[in-house]
Amino acid sequence: MRPTGKANLVRDERGLTAVIEFLSAFTLFLMILTAFLSLAQLQMGSNDPATDRLDRAAAMGLDRLTSGEGWFVPAQDGVLDYANSTSEWHLEDASSLFQGRVQPGLLTDHRLDASKILALHQITEDGMAAGIGLGEEMSLYLSIKVIESENATREGTVLFNGGTQRGTASSSSTAYRSFQQDGELIQIVLEVHDGGRKNNPLHLNEVVARPSSNGPEWIEISNPNDFAIGLRGWSLNHTSGSTSTNILLQSGVLSGKSLALFTGDPNSQSIGNASQVIDLGQYAFLGVGQIDALADGRGVLSLRYTQLDETRAVEITRVEWGGDTGLFLVTGQSLQWDGTSMTASSAWSISDTPTPGEA
């Protein structure tokens, strides 16, 4: 006997219900499995926990940077002083920010604060990363730029641009936020990288090995980067004939876009616009008066950097005088770098008018 139309309809409805229930259960299973794999840092298909972590880090880091006024906790001998913490982090100098903990925030009364953007030059890249909650294995690149302005000359103005380049990392994530205020559109872009090799060089700008009027020998070093740079791991080496002297810097920090003077006598040193004056006379690396530490006739001075997990110093920049360089100093002259090659003698020239602390 053939089944009736009513029986066929009931059977079709039951079959459709079973399919829907199966698909719902399977979808729920996939959702639970995906959540479990993400929490367990495992990967299934297109789900990549490493990328998820970078995405979250970039979004949360930018939120911390652009959602409040920030905070600073000073430190003394490595001990954080919470009782004297303050939201006025941008009024602190680079040394204080370097020793303490800072979470930079760029807003005041819910608006971008130009003084706080400028104060970013007082923070190291590592200090910034720690402050916005990035993991130790992460690096960052920060860009703040005027996109549009009622003042045409302001369009394209870069307010801050520094950090680790994206090409040195295996993967990256980017977050950005725009602010419309005072007739301008300002865009903030934060890139967070998985690893990446920091390349933030310092430059030798000018050297005085034969000072006049019994003044001090001095070396001018600049930080061309927007972020501040900690001086630990940097060293100076001077060679003359078979004699070599070396000094490894153990502490200190050089603000972004600033100059520092290393001198044989800070009390008699003209400083110009230098942000720091560091005494190397106490270590006999630089002389003053009749005490010559840098060779008058022929010498080589190099600025080197040693990674914290390495033992070999890498030469970053150098200057050589005397010999076949054609650079022969007389009293009162200085060696000045032209901003090109960081190791070639052709990039240096002799000046009759030294300019300590002047770019």
Distance from C-alpha of 251 to C-alpha of 257, rounded to nearest angstrom: 19
Q: What are phi and psi of 80, to 5 degrees?
A: -70, 135
What's the token pair of residue 239? 């060679």
Name the strand (E) or helix (H) holding 92. Answer: none
Cβ pair 192, 140 in contact under 8 A: yes
Write down the pLDDT at residue 145.
98
Distance from C-alpha of 145 to C-alpha of 161, rounded to nearest angstrom: 8
* CA-wise closest residue to 105 among 126, 131, 143, 124: 131
Q: Residue 354: how many CB atoms within 10 A of its CB?
A: 21
Distance from C-alpha of 201 to C-alpha of 222, rounded to nearest angstrom: 9
| CATH among 3.40.190.10, 2.60.40.790, 3.40.390.10, 2.60.40.1260 for 203-351 | 2.60.40.1260
Give the model confidence (pLDDT) of 30-59 as tens digits: 888 777 766 655 554 455 566 688 999 999
Cβ pair 196, 240 in contact under 8 A: no
Q: Who's near 352: CB < 8 A, 6+ residues apart?
A: 332, 333
> Kindly report the CA angle at 35 between 29 and 31, in degrees rounded to 5?
30
pTM (two decimals): 0.82
Q: Who's near 328: CB < 8 A, 6+ residues apart?
A: 297, 321, 322, 350
Distance from C-alpha of 158 to C-alpha of 205, rounded to nearest angstrom: 24
Supply the DSSP string of 298-328, one letter for each residue. SEEEEEEE--TT-SS-EEEEEEEESTTSS--
Low-confidence ranges of the chain (pLDDT < 70): 1-16, 37-51, 308-310
Residue ranges of alpha helices (H) inside 85-218 are 94-99, 114-119, 125-131
Distance from C-alpha of 104 to C-alpha of 247, rounded to nearest angstrom: 33
Residues carrying CATH 2.60.40.1260, the chain: 203-351
Supply the DSSP string of 214-258, one letter for each residue. T-B-EEEEEE-SSSBEE-TTEEEEEEETTEEEEEE--S-EE-TTE
Cβ pair 191, 176 in contact under 8 A: no
Write down the pLDDT at residue 178.
97
